Amino acid sequence: MKESGAPSPDAGWLERRFRVRERGSTPAREFLGAGAIFLTLSYILFVQPVVMGMALPEGTSPAQAAAFRASVLTAVCLAGAAGCLLMALLANFPVALAPAMGHNFFFSLIVVKAMGFTWQQALAANLLAGGLFLILSVGGLWLPKLDPRRMLFQALPRGLTHAIAVGIGLLIALVGFEYAGIVVPAPGTHIGLGFGKTPLPVLATAFAGLLVFGILWARGIVGAPLWAIVASAAVGALLRVVPLPAGVVSPPTLSATAMQFDLAGLFQLPLKAVLIAIATFLFLDIFDTVGTLAAVCTRVGLASRDGRFDAGMPGAFVADAGATVAGAMLGTSSVTSYVESLAGTQTGARTGLAALGVAVLFLGAMFFTPLLAPVADAYVFKLGDTALFLYPCLAPVLIGIGALMLWCVKEINWDDATEALPAFLCILAMPLTMSITDGIAFGMIAYVVLKTCTGRWREVNAFIALCAALLAVRYLM
């Protein structure tokens, strides 16, 4: 639904600012939508501190880890609130922002654990990527035809777009299986079934949450991820797998993470690694934002998937980029638009007033840090000589979110080998290599090579061909 002129001078402030009635909504419906959005995405309040905690160095004391997680929670709430406020004021879209699933695992497992960055250096790389995104976003306000997000959105094959989402979903689900102890390290095959090895109470805790998630999802009840966490925490506490919270309310803190990014240390690392990290953060942020805004705004008639942007879309990109910069400065990984915002549009939300409501809820949530304890504290047990750190209250959400992300596999053209094989390689490479970057690279390179070698090179966009060539050079180097 496009905006059709200015509201009447007699209209109230809400109508003049958000055009609520013009878009066929009401303030009550907008705030109801805000509640639905927040309830649906609130699992990130529990997930993000744990995933970011994976980036802490070995030898970190439990007290330091707890302080770090509390600080991350505050950073998530403040950055999410800032992003939602910007989205409301700059774009007037019913879209909420929070740290992106997939991006957070790339931050902790790939950039820190695999590439050897400290978490402070990874924050610095994320900050620079967010800054570049912000420059591109502000530039897009004046030069929309040169906006690289439009170029990427129009150039990237739709099958590969969906394959990336599916691959990230499988990667997240695999981590969930590991956190539940459903799969464990095994000689020869690397992973094997954990039944008979993982303690039964741990498995019961994880499966209780997964069962609740599945039932609520099947019934279409809002907030399935959050209630899955609650169910797992209740069963885990009863079985003495996880601790009870020491309280409910505590003052927010940013002492462990705010302004901790290490720019000087970042550029002491090998330049190739630094460029790869920054480029991947930037690519993921742009890609995620374009896809989410297209999905949510198309649903309510504010955008189309053929590259035509609503007047508010450039402002939405500025909000998204600004939130990532704020998040990196406060101490969390990339903050981006959330597809869970569809929960709000399904209840009738149509304007930025819903995003403003989510911002208020984020600010209230940062006072409830003690409730993290059942989710954030690892259950540790020995399997041979290996110590396994399990998070059975977190696992059901990761598995469930992975399942939710697989819906778009049906959008891939499996009858065309030049579309199907690149999509398959992209999907499979992500969980097997634990790398979103490599999954995208495998899919993009295979797409260009197959289209070219089968005489269909005219179907390959020049921008995608250039990206594939650069990714191939990266492997050769």
Residue type, 430: M
- DSSP helix/strand/coil, 464: helix
Round to whole Å and give the CA distance between 444 and 407. 21
Phi-psi region of 19 (alpha: psi -120 to 50; beta: other; left: phi over 0): left
Question: pLDDT band at 235, cuts 50/70/90?
Answer: very high
The confidence score (pLDDT) of residue 197 equals 92
The answer to whether residue 12 scores a pLDDT higher than 80 is no
User: What does the DSSP 8-state code read for residue 57?
Assistant: P
The confidence score (pLDDT) of residue 307 equals 47
pLDDT, tens digit, 9 for 90 and up, residues 296-334: 776 666 655 444 555 677 788 899 999 999 999 999 999
Round to whole Å and give the CA distance between 292 and 307. 13
pLDDT, tens digit, 9 for 90 and up, residues 371-408: 877 887 778 888 888 888 898 988 898 898 888 888 87
Q: Do 132 and 148 meet the contact criterion of CB atoms below 8 Å apart?
A: no
The share of the chain scoring above pLDDT 70, in percent, equals: 90
User: What does the DSSP 8-state code read for residue 381?
Assistant: E
The predicted model scores a pTM of 0.78
The confidence score (pLDDT) of residue 81 equals 96
Measured between alpha carbons, how far apart are the two ends of the chain, in Å? 48
pLDDT, tens digit, 9 for 90 and up, residues 186-222: 888 888 999 989 999 999 999 999 999 999 989 988 7
Q: How far is CA 91 from CA 84, 355, 358, 404, in A?
A: 10, 10, 15, 27
Mean pLDDT of the chain: 86
Find the Cα–Cα–Cα–Cα dihedral 32, 33, 39, 42, rounded to 10°: -130
Reading the block at residue 240, the tokens are 């003495």
The answer to whether residue 1 scores a pLDDT higher than 70 is no
The confidence score (pLDDT) of residue 305 equals 46
Round to whole Å and give the CA distance between 78 and 99. 11
Say which range, 123-137, 205-219, 226-240, 431-445, has the weakest mean pLDDT: 431-445
Q: Do 388 and 224 meet the contact criterion of CB atoms below 8 Å apart?
A: no
Sign of CA dihedral 324, 328, 334, 336: negative
Sequence length of the chain is 477
pLDDT, tens digit, 9 for 90 and up, residues 132-183: 988 888 876 666 665 656 666 566 787 887 888 788 788 888 988 998 999 9
